[in-house]
Amino acid sequence: MWDKIKDFASEFFVTGDPLILGAQVSIGLTLIAIIFTLTYFKKWRWLWTEWLTSVDHKKIGIMYIIASILMLFRGGVDALLMRVQLAAPELEFLHADHYNAIFTTHGVIMILFMAMPLMFGLFNIVVPLQIGARDVAFPFLNSLSFWMFFFGAMLFNVSFIIGGSPDAGWLAYPPLSGLLGSPGVGQDFYIWGIQISGIGSLATGINFVVTILKMRAPGMKLMQMPMFTWSVLSSCVTIMFAFPILTVTLFLLFLDRYLGAHFFTLDGGGNPMMYINLIWMWGHPEVYIVILPAFGIFSEIVSTFSKKRLFGYKSMVFALMSISFFSFFTWAHHFFTMGSGANVNAFFAVTTMLIAIPTGVKVFNWLFTMYRGKLSFPTPMLWTIAFIPCFVVGGMTGVMLSVAPADFQFHNSYFLIAHFHQVLIGGVVFGYFAGLYYWWPKMFGFRLHEGLGKWAFWLWNIGFYVCFMPQYALGLMGMTRRFNEYNFDMGWQPLNVVSTVGAFLMGLAFIFQVWQIAHSIKFLKKETSGDAWDGRTLEWSIPSPAPLYNFARLPQVTSQDDWWEKKQRRARGEAELPEVAAADQAPLEPIHMPRNSGIPFIMSFSWFVAGFGFVWDWKWMIVVGLAGVIISMLARSFSYDTDYYIPVDEVKRTEAAARGAH
Amino acid sequence: MAHAYQSHAGAHGHSAHGSHDGHHGHDHHDQEEMKTFGFWLFLITDVILFGTLFATFMVLRLNTAGGPTGAELIELPGIIASTFILLTSSFTSGVALLEMNRGNKKGLILWLIITALLGASFIYLEVTEFIHLVHEGATIGTSAYWSAFFTLVGTHGLHVTVGLVWMTALILQLRRRGITPVTKRKVNIISLYWHFLDVVWIFVFTIVYLMGVM
Ligand code: HEM
Ligand SMILES: [Cu+2]
């Protein structure tokens, strides 16, 4: 009996690696600490009613952001471990298996569990406020999306201490990810973790498309929407078309592994190349899904801190939409070297280069917006400025990669690694940081310490270039990716050392950011005006943080940058436009709001249980999990009392409290 | 444009209680409309999902790896029968909608029950077909062709099954609550879903069965 338990435990838990043991212990201690604190301060009920069951888009947004910052930490630790291993030749720090697991989880976590939720967090916080809405279109679904993401991410993350991490690369090419190449459970954690959170992402895509198309404030025409909202729309449309492909692809891989199907196996007529096509038909649009909102953020920030209307609004909209369209016709540039033939390669090379055109248009629009503007440079603007050269270089190396014959040289080398980190860190991460700094006062009602923010900014930037510029050179020198060890005589050591130093600078930058947040909470500088940056769009017209219902009266919109125009009219002492005045003075009405619900949490947790059952092939657990899912769905279908009204008195009281402060 | 949570009058400015079917005319109308629109978008994503499965089937349709082919094992008459049944159920779901629009709750429920029964017979026939194929030696693991076959046809079957559970739940709600703006929207959506599955089946029938077997 005892032996049996021991056998099971050693298969179930990952053992034998001191690094992982250390992590296990610290995770255990952290969990105990959290449970203890919540119990000691009697906060369980508060946690459940205020947060876990909340359908308020602002709270959901904050939960997304917290989760993604935790994931940034985990993905960052993975990155530093890899860079330590590569700093010197023939180092015995991480062994090949462990290294494989780490680069796989690093990639998955950074793109799917860090960038995506950070993006969704900003969508949630900003979009309804920017379009003058009281919520998203489907608040219940919104909460479900969050919990699906969260439990998907958790399922993926536990693989590291339970069962073993996946190690077939972040896109899990078969046959390596097939049953013969990866017999352990790590790959199953990969499939189910991503699948569950992917369904959440798909739902978010639909939710925001409906929100933006149907819930804008009275008077706001499509061509008056703030540019961030446009970028969210283009990103969400892309999600709608790309994510179903991912769902199918992972499902087919699951069938191969679980039921012995032959989609991607080398025997039985399967075709591994089909997986590579399918995964990139999702994967390439996916990189645009995460970059497009960053473009929107930069547009907002540039015009706010130049005190000018965005230059070339229409061309910006056109560029966003054409990028999301073209992103579906470039996928094969990820495997020019895998025998598609000259004509196919030529087609995909040209489509790839085409995307550089609308991207270039945007860069010029930002520059022209700044030209002759009244510029100021608080942290959000600094990130925006830093992004421009970084993205231009990343775009150019992308075009170099898209030259099919040349790609035979660059493919799978460190040149490629440097390229995609340049666009992903310089574009996506810098972009979302800019957004986070910009909307922080709106989210939390206090300001972040600028000095510490500047330290973080410079460390990130310097660290970035120190880390990745040498990698272009290393790539050209022949260093290929996914190496865990190299010999002394390669001559790669000096550049690798530099690169590792850069990585640690970025790690230090992250610490500065955490410090910045902690410091700002401690020496709270309340943001009382609601309009922290003298902004241009509707979110700045209401108190910070926004009340539960956002807008006591829905605003009447008459122009692009409506809030700015309104402030200008007031400053000039002009009378309000009659329709605006009417909307402003209309009597308050009871506000229709959705009720909180525990179903999204329970349903997503049931998916987690079912997923865990599939991973270990425990049939009873699969049944329990799926039953939970079905019961949750029916419970929702049968519940009719899902909303309520906030009475006028309460709205009045809230408004007086929020506005009374200044 | 619809403004979902814009409330429309002190008239229904009541407190947190009571069910909201029906008495908030305009307000709910907008929300119901928005849900229908959201469902259309969901259908687009489902089209992509099936499109990907069809593409997979097309790529793998000749890869039988020396095993049995579809033409050898599939019996068309049964498939034609189930096609006929599913098409009829699409028609009956349309009749249900007509009854609903005439405000006839009994008729609505009756035609939904007929639709569900037809759907259930379709699933019964599909399961019988699968069992038959497995007996003849074609399983999901036999070859890439059969993997693609079972996955594509099975995914459609799974969609129909989900529709059946959903329809049953809806029939129960209709009995309890009658025809309200909310149940009306739900019936509209499920009939949309049902027609959609019919259209997908026509493609399955043509591409998998007719082109593959004849
Ligand atoms: C001007 C635009 C861009 C061009 C022309 C471009 C071109 C390319 C090409 C041709 C490759 C494949 C190289 C190879 O495997 O040998 C590639 C890889 C990659 N790109 Fe880009 N790219 C652009 C923008 C972006 C953006 C905006 C992102 C992300 C936000 C991105 C992320 C990636 C990633 C993650 C890979 C590596 C995938 C892997 O093999 O694991 N790229 N890019
Ligand atoms: Cu690509």
3-class DSSP string for A158-204: HCCCECCCCCCCCCCCCCCCCCCCCCCCHHHHHHHHHHHHHHHHHHH
- A643 in reach of chain B (CB within 8 A): yes
**Mean local confidence (pLDDT), B37-56:** 97
A161 sits in the region (left: phi over 0; alpha: psi -120 to 50; else beta) called alpha
Strand partners, B201: none
Write down the pLDDT at residue B22.
36
| Mean pLDDT, rounded, for A377-385 | 96
pLDDT band of residue A239 (cuts 50, 70, 90) is very high
Question: Across the interface, do B3 and A241 touch by the CB < 8 Å criterion?
Answer: no
Tokens found for residue A573: 């002492």
Are A231 and A295 in contact, with CB atoms under 8 Å apart?
A: yes
Pairing of strands A643-646, A591-594: antiparallel
Residues whose CB is less than 8 angstroms from the CB of residue A287 and which lie 6 or more positions away in sequence, other chains included: A327, A420, A423, A424
Mean pLDDT of all residues in B168-175: 97
More confident residue, A487 or A274: A274
In this complex, the residue of A243, A268, A590 whose CB is nearest that of residue B143 is A268
pLDDT of A659 reads: 75
The residue-averaged pLDDT of A489-514 equals: 95
CB B123 within 8 A of CB B164: yes
pLDDT confidence tier of residue A91, bands split at 50, 70 and 90: confident
* Cβ of A235 below 6 Å from ligand 1: no
Q: What percent of chain A has pLDDT over 90?
A: 83
Retrieve residue B62's tokens: 């000749």
CB B104 within 8 A of CB B81: no
- Non-local (6+) Cβ contacts of A210 within 8 A are A137, A138, B34, B37, B38, B41
DSSP code of residue A446: B
Q: What is the CA radius of gyration of chain A?
A: 25
Average pLDDT over residues A238-246: 98
Helix axes B105-135, B144-177, angle to 10 degrees: 160
Summarize pLDDT for A558-588 with one digit per residue, the tens. 999 999 999 999 999 988 888 888 888 889 9
For the segment A135-149, the average pLDDT, to the nearest whole number, is 97
- Taking a C-beta distance cutoff of 8 angstroms, is the pair B20, A640 a contact? yes
Q: What is the pLDDT of residue A9?
A: 81
Best mutation target, A273, A640, A641, to test chain B (most B CBs within 10 A): A640
Nearest residue on chain A to B172, alpha-carbon basis:
A638
**Residue B7 banded pLDDT, cuts 50, 70, 90:** very low
- Provide the pLDDT for residue A38: 85
- Kindly write down the DSSP assignment for every residue of A241-271, as one continuous string: HHHHHHHHHHHHHHHHHHH---SS-SSTT--
A202 contacts A244 by C-beta, under 8 angstroms: yes
Location of structure tokens 């015995």? A92
Q: Which atom of ligand 1 is nearest to the CA of A395?
A: 1
The single residue listed with the structure tokens 């330590």 is A84
This model of the complex carries an ipTM of: 0.94
Chain A positions touching B17 (Cβ under 8 A) are: 644
Q: Give kind and range of the element (H or E) at residue B110.
A: helix B105-135
Residue B18's pLDDT is what?
37
Average pLDDT, chain A: 93
**Secondary structure (3-state) at A644:** strand
User: Mapped to the 3 state alphabet, what secondary structure does A572-630 carry?
Assistant: CCCCCCHHHHHHHHCCCCCEEEECCCCHHHHHHHHHHHHHHHHHHCCHHHHHHHHHHHH
Measured over the CA atoms of residue A412, residue A413, residue A415 and residue A420, the dihedral's sign is positive
* Nearest-neighbour CA in chain A from B214: distance (Å): 22
Task: Report residue A395 CA to chain centroid gap.
Answer: 20
Residue A316 to residue A310: CA distance in whole angstroms:
9
Q: Which of residues 563-622 of A touch B (CB under 8 A)?
A: 587, 589-593
Q: Could you tell me if the CB of A355 is within 6 A of ligand 1?
A: yes
Is A229's C-beta closer than 6 angstroms to any atom of ligand 1?
Answer: no
Q: Does B10 touch chain A (CB under 8 A)?
A: yes
Q: A384-393 burial, b if ≥16 CB within 10 A, otherwise e? A: bbbbbebbeb
Residue in chain A nearest B150 by alpha carbon: A261
Give pLDDT tens digits for A333-373: 999 998 888 999 999 999 999 988 998 999 999 999 999 99
Tens-place pLDDT, residues B121-156: 999 999 999 999 999 999 999 999 999 999 999 999
Confidence of residue B28 (pLDDT cuts 50, 70, 90): low
Taking 80 as the threshold, does the pLDDT of residue B6 lie above it?
A: no
**In chain B, what percentage of residues exceed pLDDT 90?**
80
In this structure, which ligand is nearest to the CA of A330? 2
User: Which tokens is A389 given?
Assistant: 């050269």
The verdict on the CB of residue A424 being under 6 Å from ligand 1 is: yes
Q: Is the pLDDT of residue A10 over 70?
A: yes
Helix (H) or strand (E) holding B164: helix B144-177
Contacts of B143 in chain A (CB under 8 A): 262, 268-269
User: ∠ CA(A434), CA(A460), CA(A113), 5° rounding?
Assistant: 65
The pLDDT assigned to A119 comes to 98
Full-model pTM: 0.93
Mean pLDDT of A636-646: 92
Side-chain half-sphere exposure of A566, counting CA atoms within 13 A: 23
Give the phi and the psi of residue A322 in degrees, each rounded to 5. Answer: -70, -30
Q: Judge if the beta carbon of residue A284 lies within 6 A of ligand 1.
A: no
Q: Could you tell me which residues are beta bridge partners of residue A77?
A: none
CB neighbours (10 Å) of residue A528? 16
Which of residues 99 through 138 in chain A touch B, CB cutoff 8 A? 133-135, 137-138
Check pocket membership of A291 for ligand 1, CB cut-off 6 A. Answer: yes
* CB interface of A with B, residues 235-274, below 8 Å: 240-241, 243-245, 247-249, 251-252, 255-256, 259-263, 267-271, 274
